[in-house]
Chains A and B, each alone.
Chain A
Amino acid sequence: MKRTIIVMVIVALLCSAGLMANGVSEGTPIVTLRFEQFSGTDSNDSGPALKEMIAAFEAKNPNIKVELQTIGYDDYFTQLQSKVVGGNASDVFELNFENFVSYASEGALADIDKMVGDTAGFNQTALGAFKYDGIQYGVPCSFSNVVLFYNKALFDKAGIAYPTDDWTWTDMEKAGKAIRALGNDIYGLYRPTTFHEFYKGVKQNGGALMTEDGKAFTMTLVQNVETLERMVGWQNDSNIMPTEAQMGGMGDWDLFKSGRLGMIVTGIWGFSDFTTGCSFDWDIIVEPGNTQHASHFFANGYVVSATSKHQKEAAMLASFLGGSREAAQIRVKANWELPPVNYEDILASYLQITPPENREAVFKSLDYLVTPPVVKQQAEMQDIIGGYLSQVVYKKMDAKSALEACQAELEAKITL
């Protein structure tokens, strides 16, 4: 037995020596870029689309080769952080809006202000989201907003008119109640009381979570309290929105696709999934507000690592994938969110794809964009606020006291 073990170890060590020396030699590329990201996965069309974009880039730049690594969202940031700390991050990597500020402020990103080339084709709001302290650290690669989706079949069944872009909460509640009445497991609306929905909801009611200059929290504004009470009411009072219990672990999209949900507020990244997964007709409208409209703005972007040895090429890759016509066209075809560009013809082709019919709502919503409060301790702040919102939902605290306690905790823990 001893002999077998020793032989195995020796053989294995020899093989590993072989593997270590394994340089898969291809034709001599001059620069190899490592690129990692999470939003384009092979489990839907986005993965192949990304590969197409990369191929187009390589065709245009024959001296650059791109090595792509796709990592699941759940582990993406953990492993990214480790690599950044170790000085080993990929040349180009993806960040979402929330994490961008942390990385930029810790010096992990390269200043690509001068290297991105002509940025006129980018949607300027999206481009601005990747600026920190006035310097451009990244380029947006996709952006999306949130709209209200509705199930036409259920509306027909309840005998009510389809929603329009100028609906308000009151209209939404009325329709929700009518649809809820259709059956015990049919629900009218899905709009949970979470951090993201809340900061947008207060804006739709004329409130805000922070002052304009971002120097102080304003959780206890009357409009905020009203908003919270109303949002929780959708779940606990009229029950047009299912409680966690009623959802029973089912996903919100799944509920909508199963045809048992009248309206859902979610992102336009759901288009491709709903197109293939819904057996009924559906459409969208600009999200209804109370005193005004407000719609989320999310953007993902590509940044260049401060430790990259090929910053210029990396910036070119990022810029191409984010803002070139070719990439934008591929993205539109694959129904993979919105390319952050303002090329009229590409946007026009975006509008032509249906469903949904009312794609203009996506662009109309751009007039009412709100972003989450940009704070370095982003995740921690969300965690704290989310905790208090949850207390109200579970009826452990009333809206007013929850917001007051939240304000106190935020002031204690978050430095603005």
Chain B
Amino acid sequence: MNFGNEKMIDSGRRGWRRALPFLLPSLIGMVLFAYLPILISLFLSFTSWSGISRISLTHGFFKFVHENFLGLQNYQEIIRSSEFWTVLSHNFYFIVLYLPLMLVFSLTCAVIINSKTKGSGIYRVIFYIPVLTSWVAAALIWKWFLSFEYGPINNILSFFGIEGPLWLQSETLAMPSIVLASVWKDMGFYGMIFYGGLKGIDPTYYEAAQIDGASRKQLFFKVTLPMLSSVTFYVVMLSLINAFQLFPQVMVMAKDAGPNGATQVMVERIYKYAFRFGKMGYATAYSWILFVIIFFFTFIQKRIEKRWVNYDV
């Protein structure tokens, strides 16, 4: 080992001076387009701004603050409202249905794409196609699809002699319908992530297990799954963050709250307060509360990951 050289190399890489030019564009973008708006929205959450009147840093800013400042009132009102807890429960309902279903489907997709059999390449293309649609188009299609009389799903079910239920119009099946559409759209994406994970598993593990006489099933459950644990955590984290922000599907598939409000979720409420009811200050407070919730769950996940994940080197 040539220690002299190592020192030279290291000092070349160290420090902000070297890193800054690489980081600069992203940093500037982050401050201007991500965090500045967020800070502004934090400020707004302490006011009763309607979202329609003009605000500007130059004219009448102090007057604005004087007239509209509310302190923590928005936050208190939200936490005390029964509406908040109801919509939060709807978000949880979505997550509880969506996560397991999505994990199963995307893992299955990954396993199929990973198989050495002929045709896996075609499957790789097909499974990802739903990911490429825009949510607006996809939600419209699913809405039509799940229509009781005009939709193909019930049409197909009737071929099997089953009478298709009401999907989006029934209080109990409305959210599950949204889960179905969401799983359809996302499975390819998370499938590809799992696929990346599968590819990263060192084949020597399989060989060793096979020598010990393990069956395919055992191979899968005792070798593959544990080796995928870190990827699984990433997938769960990403999809959880996404699931809390559930929005375009709900707006298109179940406009105006769904049957008896069954599909009202956090972001839908935020949107309505911000853009329909003229209560932007309230909406920003709502959205900060949502952020705290998401952050909390992500944090817990990271903790669990430290304890459970198998990082074999």
A interface, CB within 8 angstroms of B: 77-78, 81, 84-85, 87, 102-103, 106-108, 244-245, 247-250, 376-377, 379-380, 383, 386-387, 390-391, 393-394, 396
Contact = CB atoms under 8 A, between A and B. Distances in A.
Contact of B166 (A87, A108, A248): A248
23 contacts: A81-B51, A81-B52, A85-B51, A85-B55, A87-B56, A102-B278, A106-B52, A107-B54, A244-B166, A245-B148, A247-B148, A248-B150, A249-B148, A249-B149, A249-B169, A250-B147, A379-B277, A380-B278, A383-B272, A383-B276, A387-B261, A394-B259, A396-B260
B278 A379 contact: yes
Nearest to A248: B148
Interface centre among B51, B168, B278 (most CB of A within 10 A): B278
Contacts of A245: 148, 166, 169-170
B61 to A, nearest CB: 14
Contacts, number: 86
A392 B18 CA distance: 67
B143 interface: yes
Given A394-B260, A396-B260, A102 B52 contact: yes
A102 B148 contact: no
B146 interface: yes
Interface in B241-281: 256-257, 259-261, 272, 275-279
Given A248-B147, A394-B259, 19 more contacts: A77-B276, A81-B52, A81-B275, A85-B54, A85-B55, A87-B54, A103-B52, A106-B278, A108-B52, A245-B148, A247-B148, A248-B148, A250-B150, A376-B278, A383-B272, A390-B257, A390-B261, A391-B260, A396-B260
Contacts of B150: 248-250
Contacts of B256: 386
Nearest to A86: B54
Contacts of A78: 275
Contacts of B51: 81, 85
A85 B51 CA distance: 7
Interface residues of B, number: 32
A247 B167 CA distance: 12
B50 to A, nearest CB: 6
A380 B277 contact: yes
A249 B146 contact: yes
A245 B259 CA distance: 10
Interface centre among B52, B56, B148, B260 (most CB of A within 10 A): B52
B74 to A, nearest CB: 13
A248 B149 contact: yes
Given A84-B54, A249-B143, A394 B277 contact: no
B305 interface: no
Given A244-B259, A387-B261, A390-B260, A377 B53 contact: no
Interface in B18-71: 50-56
B277 A107 contact: no
Cβ-closest 9 pairs across A and B: A248-B148, A249-B147, A380-B277, A106-B53, A106-B52, A379-B276, A248-B149, A78-B275, A244-B169
B151 interface: yes
A85 B170 contact: no
Contacts of A387: 257, 261
A341 B215 CA distance: 83
Contacts of B261: 387, 390
A87 B144 CA distance: 39
Nearest to B269: A383
Given A102-B278, A108-B53, A394 B148 contact: no
Nearest to A85: B54
A217 B9 CA distance: 77
A245 B146 CA distance: 12
A103 to B, nearest CB: 6
Contacts of B144: 249
Contacts of A106: 50, 52-53, 278
Contacts of B53: 85, 106-108
A244 B257 CA distance: 13
Nearest to B51: A81
A102 B50 contact: yes
Contacts of B50: 102, 106
A386 B277 CA distance: 14
Contacts of A383: 272, 276-277
Nearest to A108: B52
A400 B147 CA distance: 33
Contacts of A85: 51-55
Contacts of A248: 147-150, 166, 169
Nearest to A247: B169
Contacts of A380: 276-279
A387 B81 CA distance: 15
B54 to A, nearest CB: 6
A231 B265 CA distance: 29
Contact of A250 (B149, B257, B278, B279): B149
